[in-house]
Amino acid sequence: MEENTPALFTEFMNSVRNGEKDEQIAHAKRLFISPHHKKALIAFEIIEKQHPEEAAYALFKQGECYLKMDREDKAIECFEMAKEKFYDASLVDEAIWSATQTAFAKYRDIEIVEQFIKKYPHSESLRYAQSILENR
């Protein structure tokens, strides 16, 4: 059974008012798996600002929210900011490649893959990007 998203968001906001970080994160995760990704995005934005020690994680989750909202460009921005804050580099690399693949599949614009190769020459996903160029 799908959880009531407005109630979930209300619970999240109550945990914000109470300053309960762990509860905020738990509610944000529940919002993320609901169909209302905009509410999850807002929740992770609040966590990023209220809890700087969780900023890298919150930025990564914001990127995942943007991916679910078909905003690959914003997703990549969030993933890059998460990486700058020392979030798990291999997870970020994989997420950026996933966003790139999604954008390429959607727009069929080879320049998207070329930009990935230029911007991330040391990426673990580089060989996949190069294979797209070779097989075009």
Q: Which domains does the chain have, with CATH numbers?
A: 1-78 (1.25.40), 88-136 (no CATH)
The confidence band for 1, taking pLDDT boundaries of 50, 70 and 90, is very low
Lowest mean pLDDT among 21-25, 31-35, 109-113, 132-136: 132-136
Q: Which helix (H) or strand (E) holds 70?
A: none
What's the gap between Cα 60 and its chain centre? 4
**Residue that is written with structure tokens 């906001």 in the block:** 13
* Residue 10, φ and ψ in degrees, nearest 5: -60, -45
Per-residue model confidence (pLDDT) at position 87: 84
DSSP assignment letter at 87: -
Per-residue model confidence (pLDDT) at position 89: 86
The model scores a pTM over 0.75: yes
3 state SS of 79: helix
**pLDDT above 50 (res 63):** yes
